[in-house]
């Protein structure tokens, strides 16, 4: 307010869809009353900025947002984007696997992600992005990195944003999608049944099996079982020509990093 000659043309244009939003109307009234005691001219953009920060910066609690979401403008760009991305999340994991409480929590986080993506110009990179992607690759049983990038592309189309530009906001938004999907990935009850069948002498077979289990047990949802020919598994790891109806991976060499990476890729695809 102390800076003269400020222009909010882009903000006004983007905000037009929110002009009837119940929360914005409440904030606008509060701003006018608060500054009514001072001899200053309060522009409406002051209330717009407060609205964006209030919804986008984790100020509203999840319970507050659930109450607000019942009354907010449904056809605004970000609320529509929230719905589209949530529906795609449900499609990725299967709607029956995500509880209503988890769905509501995802919707809350997505609402903050999208209003910042729509209104903000950049973001502060407080995390090492490369380390986060590497950690996800080691721990997740699903290739959620590619899923997160697909969600970002979809959100950019919905909000008419250039996906290909080098932008810290886009980079951090991809990390935020990854975070939401990691929460879902951990909570969704999705067991991947893996059996290990090795042909070797008993001591070597036991040691090699234990080593493989140790390398793979950090993957969320992987359950190791004793191989039984009559059972069906999501993946069978072996070193011989095994006749089975389950997906099979034949290792090239015990302890090979190449095999470990290929097995992780197969588990991601299950």
Final residue of a domain: which of 118, 153, 187? 187
Same domain for 135 and 210, yes or no, is: no
Digit-by-digit pLDDT tens for the chain (270 residues) are: 677 777 888 899 999 999 999 999 999 999 988 887 776 777 888 899 999 999 999 899 999 999 999 888 888 999 999 999 999 998 888 766 778 888 999 999 999 999 999 999 888 877 677 777 776 666 565 677 888 899 999 999 999 999 888 788 998 898 889 888 888 877 775 678 888 888 877 777 777 888 888 877 767 678 888 888 888 888 999 888 888 888 888 888 776 788 888 888 888 777
Same domain for 220 and 254, yes or no, is: yes
Instruction: Answer yes or no: is 63 within a domain.
Output: no
- The predicted-structure confidence for 26-55, as pLDDT tens digits, reads as follows 999 999 888 877 767 778 888 999 999 999
Same domain for 102 and 177, yes or no, is: yes
Same domain for 97 and 48, yes or no, is: no
Whole-number pLDDT of residue 138? 62
Specify the number of domains making up the chain: 3
Rounded to whole angstroms, how far apart are CA atoms 268 and 219? Answer: 10
Same domain for 50 and 145, yes or no, is: no
Instruction: Answer yes or no: is 216 within a domain.
Output: yes
Are 238 and 248 contacting, i.e. CB atoms less than 8 angstroms apart? yes
Whole-number pLDDT of residue 96? 66
Are 215 and 222 contacting, i.e. CB atoms less than 8 angstroms apart? no
**Measured between alpha carbons, how far is residue 270 from residues 18, 37, 61, 222 in Å?**
42, 63, 36, 11
Whole-number pLDDT of residue 112? 95
Residue span of the structural domain in which 47 resides: 9-56
Same domain for 232 and 183, yes or no, is: no
Burial of 13 (0-12, 13-18, 19+ CB in 10 A): exposed
Same domain for 17 and 44, yes or no, is: yes
Instruction: Answer yes or no: is 4 within a domain.
Output: no
Same domain for 121 and 172, yes or no, is: yes
Whole-number pLDDT of residue 56? 93
Whole-number pLDDT of residue 1? 64
Whole-number pLDDT of residue 199? 83
Same domain for 179 and 114, yes or no, is: yes
CATH of the domain at 207: 3.40.50
């Amino acid at each position: 307010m102390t800076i003269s000659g400020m222009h909010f043309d882009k903000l006004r244009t983007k905000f037009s869809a929110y002009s009837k939003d119940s929360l914005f109307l409440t904030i606008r009234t509060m701003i006018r009353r608060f500054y009514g005691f001072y001899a200053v001219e309060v522009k409406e953009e002051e209330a717009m900025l407060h609205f964006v920060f209030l919804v986008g910066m984790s100020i509203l609690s999840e319970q507050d947002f659930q109450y607000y979401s019942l009354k907010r403008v449904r056809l605004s760009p970000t609320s529509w984007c929230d719905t589209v991305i949530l529906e795609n999340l449900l499609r990725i994991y299967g709607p029956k696997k995500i509880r209503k409480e988890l769905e509501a929590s995802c919707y809350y986080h997505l609402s903050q992600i999208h209003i910042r993506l729509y209104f903000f110009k950049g973001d502060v990179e407080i995390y090492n992005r490369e380390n986060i992607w590497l950690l996800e690759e080691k721990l997740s049983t699903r290739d959620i990195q590619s899923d997160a990038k697909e969600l970002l592309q979809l959100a950019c189309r919905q909000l008419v944003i250039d996906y290909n530009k080098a932008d810290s906001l886009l980079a951090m938004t991809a990390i935020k999608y990854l975070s939401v999907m990691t929460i879902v990935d951990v909570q969704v009850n999705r067991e991947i049944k893996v059996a290990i069948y090795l042909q070797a002498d008993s001591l070597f077979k036991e040691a090699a099996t234990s080593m493989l289990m140790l390398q793979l047990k950090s993957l969320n949802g992987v359950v190791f079982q004793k191989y039984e020919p009559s059972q069906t598994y999501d993946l069978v790891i072996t070193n011989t020509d095994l006749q089975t109806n389950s997906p099979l991976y034949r290792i090239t060499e015990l302890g090979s990093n190449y095999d470990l990476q290929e097995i992780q890729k197969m588990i991601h695809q299950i």
